[in-house]
Structure 1
Amino acid sequence: MSVDVSPNALARCATHPDELASATCQRCGAFVCGACTTWLLGSLYCPACATRPEVNYLETLRLQFWGKRDATAWFVMFCALLSLIGAQAAFREGNVPACVSMVAVTAVGVCFFLGMRWARYALLLVPTLFILPGLSEMGPLLVVFAIVPTLFMLQIFLDPRSRLFFRVKVPERALRRLWDIRVNNPLARHAVSLGVLAFFFPLFAPAAVVCGAIALRRVDPHARPPIGRRASSVVGIVLGMGATAMWVMVIARAIESGGLGWLTSP
């Protein structure tokens, strides 16, 4: 026996009542039609929920850093000022090639700080500008020393935070990695740092354990935005407890050997 369902009994889109619903929002549960369906970060939302900062958290992060100067830009500007001082010294010594080279480096650094896109590419040539005046004296050996700064400049060029400063499009994967580093459960990251420091300074050990425990309780992959770093939280706790055990053994051995006899003396 078949049962006919009245069209009036079928679910309707909350935004377009004349349209039948094809799905429900995973945040508020509202019915949505095909035109209102919004896929975001692998989940389906209604148009209203899709615009919420906590739902579209990667877009919120992008807008937060879009066109905003970062620490790298300040570092480049500082290096540009040092290069300007070097250019003045080279000018006084009559070293024209070195002076011209350092003035060019200064110009690139200042323009990078001001957010000019061409300077982002020109920054890759800065190591070359530095080594050109010395090639005649040191030869190919100088090129070897330029490899490390060249790789460093390449890292700045590819850094998502720096790309956002220059208003360059950043892929979702890179944005997710940036969000994970900057925003996602920062207590877990602090727990790991404190755990490492605890092996040198014992007072950091309890802080590492506490931060790791709090961060572990906050982990919720189903939240929006999701809260992760479970592994980092556990690592922070383990490091804190390991450092505590190490310092207990160190102090115990020192007491046994008489190195801390003043602690047990009446």
Structure 2
Amino acid sequence: MVSSVGVVPRCAVHPEEEAGATCQRCGAFTCDRCATWVMGVLYCATCAARPEVNYLEVFRQERWGQRDANAWTVGSVSLLLVGLAGLAVYLEAWRLVPLLLGAAGVGAAFFLGEWWARPGLVLTPVVGGLWATSLYGPGALVVAFLMFISSLQIFLDTRTRLFFCVDVSEKDLRRLWNLQVNNPLARHALSAGVASVAFPLMVPLALVLGFLGLRAVDANARPPIGRKGQALAGIALGLGAIALWGLVLWRPVVQAVFDRLFSDWP
């Protein structure tokens, strides 16, 4: 890469190296050693390390090995299973006790982050379902199947993989980031808008959050701020709720006034 005056650009960090590219953020010349690709964009090493640039990696590190909602749910269910096992002992349902305690043990290990408990969570309803079927008949398979579906969803959840320090794709990480971090005002505006259809007191909240969320949208920011559609949906639902509840609440009043005004007409 040679400039118009014949001077070869040099890397800003390694002057002895010819520059092969420029940073898309600061414009500095970079050599091959310094050039860093982040989500399809080339940066110098300094800019690539900035949290607002590599925001997905920052998000990954914040949740790496951190207990999530799935872990707390499984832990709570494990405590419930221990309680049911105690009830089974009281009722002398001895064949059910090992099944309940075994499932509770797997759940406790999952809560503690033991690596084997993640696949074990999926296998537990399979083994437990076969065991329960042999004891209580085919009806137990229905419960086992529902538990298997729930366990499989937890197993595949990006939050679970981050908790167990399992690598996730950029696509899955971005989807989780969008769900949990990207423009929460717009997300809450949509929720408030839906609630306002049934509860008119939620209308002001839906409108305020919707306008604030819409104002915050900036696709060119780093990280980008999106959810424009959800902000607009929250506003639309809020306005729709005003119209709906206006008809419901004011129609009797209007009707009464109308009847009073024209009741004496022949």
Q: Deviations over 1:229-254 (max 9, x none)?
A: 11111111111111111111111213
CA contact 1:12–1:19 (8 Å) conserved in 2: yes
* Aligned-residue RMSD, C-alpha: 1.9
One of 72, 82, 85 as aligned partner of 2:70: 72
Please give the alpha-carbon distance, in whole angstroms, between the structure 2 residues aligned to 1:137 and 1:258. Answer: 67
Equivalents in 2 of 1:57, 1:72: separation in Å? Answer: 24
Query: Residue 203 of structure 1 corresponds to which residue in structure 2?
Result: 201
1:4-83 equivalences under 5 Å are 6-7=5-6, 9-83=7-81
* 3-state SS in 1 of match to 2:37: strand
My pick for the range that moved more, 26-35 or 188-197, is 26-35
User: Secondary structure of the residue that 2:95 maps to in structure 1?
Assistant: helix
1:252 is matched by which residue type in structure 2? Answer: W
Range 9-18 or range 126-135, more displaced: 126-135
State which drifts further: 87-96 or 239-248: 87-96
2:97 paired residue number = 99
Query: CA 1:95 to 1:15, structure 2 compared with 1: closer, same or farther past 3 Å?
Result: same
* Alignment TM-score, normalising by the size of structure 2: 0.90
Q: Please give the secondary structure, in 2, of the residue aligned with 1:199.
A: helix
SS in 2 for 1:174: helix
Larger CA deviation: 38-47 vs 214-223:
214-223
Shifted more, 127-136 versus 222-231: the winner is 127-136
Q: Which runs of 5+ in 1 are unaligned?
A: 260-266
Q: Tell me the residue number matched to 1:262.
A: none
What is the CA deviation profile of residues 173-208 of structure 1, one whole-angstrom value per residue up to 9, with x for unaligned ones? 110000000000111100100000101111211211
**Alignment match, 1:264:** none
Does the 8 A contact of 1:105 with 1:129 survive in 2?
Answer: no
Q: 1:246 to 1:195 in 2, by over 3 A?
A: same
Query: TM-score, normalization: structure 1?
Result: 0.90
SS in 2 for 1:39: strand
Tell me if the contact between 1:102 and 1:129 (Cα under 8 Å) persists in the aligned partners: no
- Identify unmatched segments of 5+ residues in structure 2: 258-266
The question of whether the paired residues in 2 share the 8 Å contact of 1:70 and 1:161 is answered with yes
Q: In structure 1, what residue type is equivalent to 2:93?
A: N
Partner of 1:165: 163
**SS, match of residue 12 in structure 2:** coil
Matched-pair contact (CA < 8 Å) for 1:196–1:239: yes
User: Is the alpha carbon distance of 1:5 and 1:214 closer, same or farther for their aligned partners in structure 2, counting shifts above 3 Å?
Assistant: closer
Identical-pair percentage: 49
Cα distance between partner residues in 2 of 1:73 and 1:254 = 52
Distance 1:213 1:119 in 2: 45
* Separation (CA, whole Å) in 2 of partners of 1:6 and 1:63: 45
1:116-135 to structure 2, matched below 5 A, reads 116-135=114-133
The residue that corresponds to 2:150 in the other structure is: 152
CA displacement at 1:36 relative to structure 2: 1.5
| 2:228 partner amino acid | R
Q: For the structure 1 residues 22 and 140, does the alpha-carbon distance in structure 2 shift closer, same or farther, using more than 3 Å as the test?
A: same
Deviation of 1:133 (Å): 4.9
Once residues 6 and 83 of structure 1 are traced to their aligned partners in structure 2, the CA distance between those partners, rounded to angstroms, is 77
CA distance in 1, matches of 2:124, 2:252: 53
Partner AA of 1:189 in structure 2: R
Counterpart of 2:126, as a letter, is: T
Q: Contact 1:98–1:133 (CA<8 Å) still a contact in 2? A: no
1:6 deviates by: 4.9
Residue 110 of structure 1 is matched in structure 2 by 108
Q: Quick one: distance in 2 between partners of 1:132 and 1:247?
A: 53
Matching residue's letter, 2:98: V
